[in-house]
A and B are shown apart, each in its own frame.
Chain A
Amino acid sequence: MVGQESAETLVKAIQDPSWFVQYSWLIALLPAISAALTLFLGRRTPGKGSVYGIAAVGAAFVLSLGVLWTFVGGERGFYEASIPWFQIGQLHMEVGVYIDGLTAVMFVVVTSISLCVHVYSLGYMKGDVRFTWFYVVLSLFTSAMLVVVLANNLFQLLVGWEVMGVCSYLLIGHWWEDPVNSGSAIKAFITTRIGDVPFMFGIFVLVFITGFTTSNIPAIGEIISGGGASVALVSAAALLLFGGTIGKSAQFPLHVWLPDAMAGPTPVSALIHAATMVAAGVYLVGRLFIVFLDADPVVLQIVAIVAGITMLGAALMAFTQDDIKRVLAYSTISQLAYMVAGMSMGPAGRTGAFFHLFTHAFFKALLFLGSGAVIHAVHSNNMSEMGGLRKYLPITFWTFLIGSLALSGVPPLAGFWSKDELLVVANHEGHPVLFVVLLLTALLTAFYMTRAVLMTFFGDYRGHGEPHEAPRTMTGVLIALASVTVVAGLVGSPQLGAVFGKWVFFEELEEALFVPWIAVVSTLAAVLGILIGYTLYKEYRAPDPLTRLGGAYGLVSNKFYLDDIYWKGIIQPTRDTLSAGVYWTNQHILDAEVNGAAKLAVVFGRGVRWFDDHVIDGIVNGMANIAGFTGGLLRYIQSGNVQRYAAFLFTGVVVLAIIFTRI
């Protein structure tokens, strides 16, 4: 039904772009302006500057809907516009926008979640010491993410990518007075940076492929699909770019930063470390998908293996967490791996991955904001100090439950449809191992979410004080997100025509399949996970039931000792051996050189000074003395006698007259 439109008609520039598409750069600019306004005027504005961010992001959200409307209206092409930035030799740099269905969907995801978080933070961050600063960075982050989404060239994308990294660092360390928080911020920044280095080299390889003429993404795509680069080069570029994804999207082995990033305020965790920024790595793979498709097949296998390890490992680690935000953080890592796994399965998987990114953004933001409401109520992150909260926080409970069911993949909520699509693609494209891993992860996901819900909302309250429902700005956002979570999956539902696949596709439309037995199996996996969770946690007692597993529990709760391996294997040797050695070299060799040079300079300086005092000054003073002496002789001409002057004058006239008459 949809496959009849041929590829040629699809990858064309939009003929008559609407106003929203032409001015889509405003979407990224508005939050940047609000960041500047909040920074300079925020403290003097009523509401401490939050109005700028909410207004700007709200406007950007409306514009995003306008852009998406073009694609809802049946448009399948793209719109590209740019202005030159600067030129180095042959290399033309530009600033531009590239709008297609994927960009439009990402616009809506980023601006809507950002708007929710901006509003939610009114309640959550009320009375915070750095409230205005929080909104500045929140707006700046939104702008940077939108720059990444609409970039039509790699350098612009990199700029947005790095600004996001800085904002993430600033927000994780928002309460930097506690060294744990600032340590987490540094860990997150450095770990993602390790991924950014290969990412940058990947960009260089791609620019090299163009002969150092451009970093334009469609142009690079044309060169690669036209066979203008060797497979080895393209494979190298793909692997290096995937390094950036591993760092930003917290994939194994660089996933360690994301759980620690939960040290930041909860709205930040929802926006940056669940819904948007961490999805940028997935977006990168999808945007440069041609590089991965035309690379050696081994590259996509590596991507699939990394994703498989990450999704299972992270899901297991979520079992042993007591901190509710860390459960969600490991869940995020696992779900991001779901998307990365989708990417490894070709164009159909790419659409599925973006569909999962789309639905995940809403229900994961909902879960994080719900956990924020819980933390706001009980003043603790630990689920062992919660329990029975459904009586105290009814709105939070129901919305959190909807989010959990969506994440677990219970039909007809959002998560079911996107997980189902990925499973169908895995089955259809012949990835049996990945299929099993995806299914197993779905089961584990349902289990740990059940555990989290039961420990938080059921049983008896184990904390202190009287918990109270969150303010209306927070619950309102929860209700809005929960309603979106209920319906968001329907845009990709095969029964309803799978419109999502018509917005986000790679070169040609894919037919959305609905395989009944897969839907049944995935639902069964979810239900099984929920049942196991219910049996184990329906009445929670202090030692976690899973501790009976002994050694295995220890292995998982210590995060597979990965942090310890990094600490003992990389950080400590670097710090104790390399740094100490460097310090010694610095103190004894470099400093000796510097000191020796300084002493030499002092001796030389003394010589120069003597020369200066005696020779240079001697010459200068000598000149002055000569001038003074001759002047002393000459002054006797100045006799004061007018007649003598007149005599000189007449003599001069006579002499001149003689000279001139001779000539």
Chain B
Amino acid sequence: MIRLPLVLFLSATLFATGVYGVLARRNAVLVLMSIELMLNAVNINLIAFSQHLQDITGQVFALFVITVAAAEVGIGLAIVILIYRNRETINVDEVNLLKW
């Protein structure tokens, strides 16, 4: 049996990595991947607590999150492709037309 704090530590580390990726990476694909990291950190949390509390609800939520994440990535990548076709770049800091 793995101890809960260790799992939570892993999850927090993953989440922090994801946050860093979202805020600091320029490549849109990497930003999407970082979002995926954050979602999976949440999934780990959900399953850990589900195991800890002996309650199946957390696992059900994790399944939902996985589904949503798949859809999100599909749409996100489609947007990235369209941006690339239009702007010849996928650097998010260069996609800043909507400003003052």
Q: Chain A interface (Cβ within 8 Å of chain B)? A: 635-636, 638-643, 646-647, 650
Could you tell me if B93 and A650 are in contact, using CB atoms closer than 8 angstroms?
A: no
Could you tell me if B23 and A642 are in contact, using CB atoms closer than 8 angstroms?
A: no
B98: A residues at CB distance < 8 A: 640
Could you tell me if B19 and A636 are in contact, using CB atoms closer than 8 angstroms?
A: no
B92: A residues at CB distance < 8 A: 641-643
B23: A residues at CB distance < 8 A: 643, 646-647, 650
Contact of A646 among B22, B95, B96 (CB under 8 A): B22
B52 at interface by CB-CB < 8 Å: no
Q: How far in angstroms is the closest Cβ of chain B from A143? A: 80
Taken together as a complex, chains A and B put the C-alpha atoms of A646 and B19 apart, in Å, by 9
Could you tell me if B22 and A635 are in contact, using CB atoms closer than 8 angstroms?
A: no
Q: How far in angstroms is the closest Cβ of chain A from B90? A: 12
A640: B residues at CB distance < 8 A: 95-100
A642: B residues at CB distance < 8 A: 92, 95-96
B24: A residues at CB distance < 8 A: 643
Q: How far in angstroms is the closest Cβ of chain B from A196? A: 82
Using CB atoms, name the residue of chain A closest to B31: A643
Most chain-A Cβ atoms within 10 A of its Cβ — which of B31, B92, B97, B100? Answer: B100
Query: Given the interface contacts A646-B22, A650-B19, does A639 sit within 8 Å of B95 by beta carbon?
Result: no
Could you tell me if B96 and A638 are in contact, using CB atoms closer than 8 angstroms?
A: no
A636: B residues at CB distance < 8 A: 100
Contact of A643 among B22, B97, B100 (CB under 8 A): B22
Could you tell me if A641 and B100 are in contact, using CB atoms closer than 8 angstroms?
A: no
Secondary structure at chain A's binding surface: helix, strand, loop or mixed? Answer: helix
Contact of B100 among A635, A646, A647, A650 (CB under 8 A): A635
A646: B residues at CB distance < 8 A: 22-23
Taken together as a complex, chains A and B put the C-alpha atoms of A635 and B97 apart, in Å, by 14
B72-100 with Cβ < 8 A to chain A:
92-93, 95-100
Contact of A638 among B19, B93, B99 (CB under 8 A): B99
B99: A residues at CB distance < 8 A: 638-641
Q: Chain B interface (Cβ within 8 Å of chain A)? A: 19, 22-24, 31, 92-93, 95-100
Q: Kindly list the 3 A-B residue pairs having the minimum CB-CB distance in the complex, ordered from nearest.
A: A640-B99, A640-B96, A635-B100
Could you tell me if B96 and A641 are in contact, using CB atoms closer than 8 angstroms?
A: yes
Taken together as a complex, chains A and B put the C-alpha atoms of A635 and B99 apart, in Å, by 8
B22: A residues at CB distance < 8 A: 643, 646
Could you tell me if A641 and B19 are in contact, using CB atoms closer than 8 angstroms?
A: no
A641: B residues at CB distance < 8 A: 92-93, 96, 99
Q: How far in angstroms is the closest Cβ of chain B from A161? A: 83
Using CB atoms, name the residue of chain B closest to A650: B19
Q: List 4 additional A-B contacts (Cβ < 8 Å) besides A640-B100, A643-B23, A643-B92.
A: A640-B95, A641-B92, A641-B93, A646-B22
User: 26 A-B contacts, Cβ less than 8 Å apart?
Assistant: A635-B100, A636-B100, A638-B99, A638-B100, A639-B96, A639-B100, A640-B95, A640-B97, A640-B98, A640-B99, A640-B100, A641-B92, A641-B93, A641-B96, A641-B99, A642-B92, A642-B96, A643-B22, A643-B24, A643-B31, A643-B92, A646-B22, A646-B23, A647-B23, A650-B19, A650-B23
Using CB atoms, name the residue of chain A closest to B28: A642
Q: How far in angstroms is the closest Cβ of chain A from B82? A: 15
Taken together as a complex, chains A and B put the C-alpha atoms of A452 and B62 apart, in Å, by 123
Taken together as a complex, chains A and B put the C-alpha atoms of A635 and B100 apart, in Å, by 6
Taken together as a complex, chains A and B put the C-alpha atoms of A647 and B23 apart, in Å, by 6
A635: B residues at CB distance < 8 A: 100
A643: B residues at CB distance < 8 A: 22-24, 31, 92-93
Q: How far in angstroms is the closest Cβ of chain B from A443? A: 115
A647: B residues at CB distance < 8 A: 23
A639: B residues at CB distance < 8 A: 96, 99-100
Taken together as a complex, chains A and B put the C-alpha atoms of A520 and B99 apart, in Å, by 123
Taken together as a complex, chains A and B put the C-alpha atoms of A579 and B22 apart, in Å, by 97
Q: How far in angstroms is the closest Cβ of chain B from A386? A: 105
Taken together as a complex, chains A and B put the C-alpha atoms of A639 and B96 apart, in Å, by 7
Q: How far in angstroms is the closest Cβ of chain B from A412? A: 115
Q: How far in angstroms is the closest Cβ of chain B from A68? A: 96
Using CB atoms, name the residue of chain B closest to A637: B100
Taken together as a complex, chains A and B put the C-alpha atoms of A639 and B93 apart, in Å, by 10
B95: A residues at CB distance < 8 A: 640, 642
B96: A residues at CB distance < 8 A: 639-642
Q: How far in angstroms is the closest Cβ of chain B from A121? A: 88
Taken together as a complex, chains A and B put the C-alpha atoms of A640 and B22 apart, in Å, by 16
Q: How far in angstroms is the closest Cβ of chain B from A661? A: 15
Q: How far in angstroms is the closest Cβ of chain B from A79? A: 89
Taken together as a complex, chains A and B put the C-alpha atoms of A357 and B81 apart, in Å, by 111
Q: How far in angstroms is the closest Cβ of chain B from A658? A: 16
B100: A residues at CB distance < 8 A: 635-636, 638-640
Taken together as a complex, chains A and B put the C-alpha atoms of A650 and B20 apart, in Å, by 11
Q: How far in angstroms is the closest Cβ of chain A from B80? A: 12
B93: A residues at CB distance < 8 A: 641, 643
Using CB atoms, name the residue of chain B closest to A639: B99
Taken together as a complex, chains A and B put the C-alpha atoms of A650 and B92 apart, in Å, by 18
Most chain-B Cβ atoms within 10 A of its Cβ — which of A635, A642, A647, A650? Answer: A642
Using CB atoms, name the residue of chain A closest to B98: A640
Q: How far in angstroms is the closest Cβ of chain A from B58? A: 20
Taken together as a complex, chains A and B put the C-alpha atoms of A641 and B97 apart, in Å, by 9
Taken together as a complex, chains A and B put the C-alpha atoms of A315 and B78 apart, in Å, by 117
Q: How far in angstroms is the closest Cβ of chain B from A631? A: 10
Taken together as a complex, chains A and B put the C-alpha atoms of A641 and B93 apart, in Å, by 6
Q: How far in angstroms is the closest Cβ of chain B from A650? A: 6
Taken together as a complex, chains A and B put the C-alpha atoms of A643 and B91 apart, in Å, by 11
Taken together as a complex, chains A and B put the C-alpha atoms of A636 and B100 apart, in Å, by 7
Q: How far in angstroms is the closest Cβ of chain B from A628? A: 14
B97: A residues at CB distance < 8 A: 640
Q: How far in angstroms is the closest Cβ of chain B from A636? A: 6
Taken together as a complex, chains A and B put the C-alpha atoms of A646 and B100 apart, in Å, by 18
Using CB atoms, name the residue of chain A closest to B26: A643
Using CB atoms, name the residue of chain B closest to A641: B96
Using CB atoms, name the residue of chain A closest to B93: A641
Q: How far in angstroms is the closest Cβ of chain A from B48? A: 19
Using CB atoms, name the residue of chain A closest to B35: A646
B31: A residues at CB distance < 8 A: 643
Q: How far in angstroms is the closest Cβ of chain B from A426? A: 111
Q: How far in angstroms is the closest Cβ of chain B from A144? A: 81
Taken together as a complex, chains A and B put the C-alpha atoms of A646 and B99 apart, in Å, by 15
Taken together as a complex, chains A and B put the C-alpha atoms of A642 and B96 apart, in Å, by 8
Q: How far in angstroms is the closest Cβ of chain B from A647? A: 5
Using CB atoms, name the residue of chain B closest to A634: B100
Taken together as a complex, chains A and B put the C-alpha atoms of A639 and B97 apart, in Å, by 9
Using CB atoms, name the residue of chain A closest to B19: A650
Q: How far in angstroms is the closest Cβ of chain B from A3? A: 111
Using CB atoms, name the residue of chain A closest to B24: A643
Taken together as a complex, chains A and B put the C-alpha atoms of A660 and B14 apart, in Å, by 24
Q: How far in angstroms is the closest Cβ of chain A from B11? A: 16
Q: How far in angstroms is the closest Cβ of chain B from A635? A: 4
Q: How far in angstroms is the closest Cβ of chain A from B23? A: 5
Taken together as a complex, chains A and B put the C-alpha atoms of A647 and B96 apart, in Å, by 15
